[in-house]
Structure 1
Amino acid sequence: MIGLWDTTGNEVVKALAAERRSAGGVASGMALTLIVVVDEKRVREAEAAATIAAAAHPCRLLVVVRSEIERDRNRLDAEIVVGGRLGPCEAVVMRTYGRLALHAESVVMPLLVPDVPVVTWWHGEPPEEIATDFLGVVADRRITDTAQARDPIAALRQRAHDYAPGDTDLAWTRITPWRTLVAGAFDTTEARVSEARLVAPRQDPTAALMCGWLSSRLGISPRWEHTDEFPRMREVQLSCTNGDQLILTREDSVATFRRTGQDDRQLPLVRRPLGDELAEELRRLDADQVYAEALGAISGVTGLEQRPATRVHVWKDPATAERAEAGVTAHTATSQR
């Protein structure tokens, strides 16, 4: 491990090259570059998840920690680890301070592995518009997590309005086991589904995406029954035109599958670690059309999969926005006197 304090981007590149030479074969065969954008308080969570994902997908891991944007003096601290505590990957943890935090791409771009895909993951509240973050514009795949937003359902709608092919969300990843069990139930029947019902909390983005998936796949409008008794999606019930009912109910890490005329079955439905969810999203680097259709179905925004895959960077200075908002507030207060 190499620690560089109050350093420059050129020094980071040189130190990484030196560490790669000393590590030898550990640093070969990179499949992608994973950029992680995270706040200081969640760095350890992000590192733990990225370590699990890197074990399945050899990558160069670039962790960008943006701190104290309002600081007068710019500063870059970096930690370089090759084949160490962050798993079998090349990892650079960069803490950026001051205005440099708004231009992290100036440090990140020279560290991208040539000729391999780039994936950017925001571990925290997702950006309102990905185009305002250059680290998202440069990526082939962009991973957000609307469950960490203050209003997850509103954040999902914003993801639809801001969508470009290559976007995905970990709330979508979390319903993969649900979708697998529901789809598998129709391997032995050709009956069409006429109605669907979900039981989940009002602000559960996984339930919203499940509704969108059922709607886009089956052409129906699922009924969402809100509940405060459970922290996440509890039950999915499907009614078929031949009178059969299929009910999938989760209890802790086990699901009970009930079907008309058959005995109940116990099936595993485990909440996976964050690293496993991230690793699943890294398995595919093309656009997820099924996710786009589900997102469009719940938001009412059509044609998401036909949008251009490339993004154009839109510069947005949060400090300027804050000053403008403060000015509007002061003007309003003066007018009300």
Structure 2
Amino acid sequence: MIGLWDTTGNEVVKALAAERRSAGGVASGMALTLIVVVDEKRVREAEAAATIAAAAHPCRLLVVVRSDVEREQSRLDAEIVVGGRLGPCEAVVMRMYGRLALHAESVVMPLLVPDVPVVTWWHSEPPSQIANDFLGVVADRRITDAAQAINPIDALRQRARDYAPGDTDLAWTRITPWRTLVAGAFDTTAARVTEATVVAPSTDPTAALMIGWLTARLGIEPRWQDTNDYARMRSVELDCANGDRLVLTRENNTAIFERTGQADRHLPLTRRPLGDELAEELRRLDADQIYAQALSASTGLTGLDDRPGQRVHIWNDPTAARRAAVPAGAPGSTPVAAPAGSGGPAQ
């Protein structure tokens, strides 16, 4: 590992190249560049998840930690790891302070692996508009997590309003095992589903997307039965036109499948590590149309797939309102210098 403190973007690029030569890294072996935007308190979680994902998808991992954006003096600290504790990947963990944190792309762009897809993952509260973050605009695929928002259901609605093909959310990834089991229940019957009920807390974004998926796939309006007894989705119940009733209920790491006229079956339904969920989303780098349909059905917003796949960067300064409110001559009213930690574009 190489540690660079109070450094520049140019120095990071040079140090990564030197470490790659020393460790025998080969850029052509990278399947993608994974940019992780994360808060300081969740850096270790993000690193652990990325290590699992990198085992299946060799990548260059660029971790961006933004801190103290109102600080007058910009600063960049970086750790470079090739192999080692983060597994089979090239990793650069960058902690950015001051105005540099608002221009992270000035450091990140020279570090992208040439000619491979770029994925940006926010392991934090999702951005209101991805177009406000250049790290999202430059990405071919963008991964958010509505569950980390203060109000996850409102966050899903915002994801629909802000959606562009290539977006996805880990709340959707978490219902993959549920969708697999529900779809598998119809391998032996062609009976039409007439009613459906999802039992889950009213704040569970996975339940909202499950209802959206059932609506899009079956053309019905499922009922959401609120429960305060469980922290996550409890069961999915389906009523068929032939009188059959199918119920899938979670019990710890097992799903109990009940069907009219048949003995109950116990099926695996484990809660996967964050790294496995991330690895699943890295398997595909095109637009997920099924997710778009489920998100559309769950939020009532239509035409998501018809939107342009690329965004145009919209500059947004989160400190502008505060600085504008400070009277001239008062502490904090001095104009802030341009970012000094990036060192300019590196070649």
TM over 0.5: yes
CA-to-partner distance for each residue in 1:157-207, whole Å, 9 max, x for gaps? 000000000000000000000000000000111111000001000100000
Match of 2:187 in 1: 187
Match of 1:46 in 2: 46
Give the conservation status (yes or no) of the 8 Å contact 2:27–2:113.
no
Unaligned runs of 5+ in 2: 328-347
SS at match of 2:256: strand
Q: Distance in 1 between matches of 2:57 and 2:184?
A: 28
Match of 1:178 in 2: 178
Match of 1:315 in 2: 315
Are residues 182 and 128 of structure 1, via their aligned partners in 2, closer, same or farther at CA, if it must alter by over 3 Å? same
CA-to-partner distance for each residue in 1:253-299, whole Å, 9 max, x for gaps? 10100001110000000010000000000000000000000000011
One-letter code of the match for 1:66? R
Q: Distance in 1 between matches of 2:324 and 2:158?
A: 23
Indicate whether 1:158 and 2:152 are aligned. Answer: no
Are residues 25 and 11 of structure 1, via their aligned partners in 2, closer, same or farther at CA, if it must alter by over 3 Å? closer
Give the conservation status (yes or no) of the 8 Å contact 2:71–2:98.
yes
SS at match of 2:197: strand
SS at match of 1:318: coil
Shift of 1:325: 7.8
Q: Counterparts in 2 of 1:278-293, with a 5 A limit?
A: 278-293=278-293
SS at match of 1:270: coil
Indicate whether 1:119 and 2:119 are aligned. Answer: yes
Q: Distance in 1 between matches of 2:80 and 2:25?
A: 17
One-letter code of the match for 1:216? A
Match of 2:169 in 1: 169
Match of 2:252 in 1: 252
Give the conservation status (yes or no) of the 8 Å contact 1:26–1:89.
no
Q: Distance in 2 between matches of 1:173 and 1:319?
A: 34
Q: Distance in 2 between matches of 1:45 and 1:325?
A: 37
Are residues 54 and 191 of structure 1, via their aligned partners in 2, closer, same or farther at CA, if it must alter by over 3 Å? same
CA-to-partner distance for each residue in 1:62-116, whole Å, 9 max, x for gaps? 0000011111100000000001111110000000000000000000000000000
Match of 1:222 in 2: 222
Shift of 1:324: 5.7
Shift of 1:322: 3.8
Match of 1:148 in 2: 148
Q: Distance in 1 between matches of 2:228 and 2:25?
A: 52
Are residues 230 and 69 of structure 1, via their aligned partners in 2, closer, same or farther at CA, if it must alter by over 3 Å? same
Match of 1:210 in 2: 210
Q: Distance in 2 between matches of 1:27 and 1:82?
A: 11
Give the conservation status (yes or no) of the 8 Å contact 2:33–2:117.
yes
Are residues 244 and 323 of structure 1, via their aligned partners in 2, closer, same or farther at CA, if it must alter by over 3 Å? farther
Give the conservation status (yes or no) of the 8 Å contact 1:197–1:225.
yes
Q: Distance in 2 between matches of 1:163 and 1:110?
A: 27
TM-score with structure 1 setting the length: 0.95
Q: Distance in 1 between matches of 2:4 and 2:177?
A: 42
SS at match of 1:81: strand
Q: Distance in 1 between matches of 2:309 and 2:126?
A: 19
Aligned residues between the structures: 327
Q: Distance in 2 between matches of 1:276 and 1:231?
A: 21
One-letter code of the match for 2:34? L
Q: Distance in 1 between matches of 2:35 and 2:158?
A: 22
Shift of 1:26: 6.4
SS at match of 2:94: strand
TM-score with structure 2 setting the length: 0.93
One-letter code of the match for 2:62? L
Give the conservation status (yes or no) of the 8 Å contact 2:25–2:82.
no
CA-to-partner distance for each residue in 1:11-52, whole Å, 9 max, x for gaps? 000000000000115665000000000010110000000010
SS at match of 1:61: strand
Q: Counterparts in 2 of 1:72-87, with a 5 A limit?
A: 72-87=72-87
One-letter code of the match for 1:16? L
Match of 2:29 in 1: 29
CA-to-partner distance for each residue in 1:204-246, whole Å, 9 max, x for gaps? 0000000000000000000000011000000000000000010
Give the conservation status (yes or no) of the 8 Å contact 2:77–2:96.
yes
Match of 1:330 in 2: none
Q: Identity rate of aligned residues, in percent?
A: 81
One-letter code of the match for 1:268? P
Query: Once superposed, what is the RMSD of the aligned Cα atoms?
Result: 1.2
SS at match of 2:255: strand
Unaligned runs of 5+ in 1: 328-337
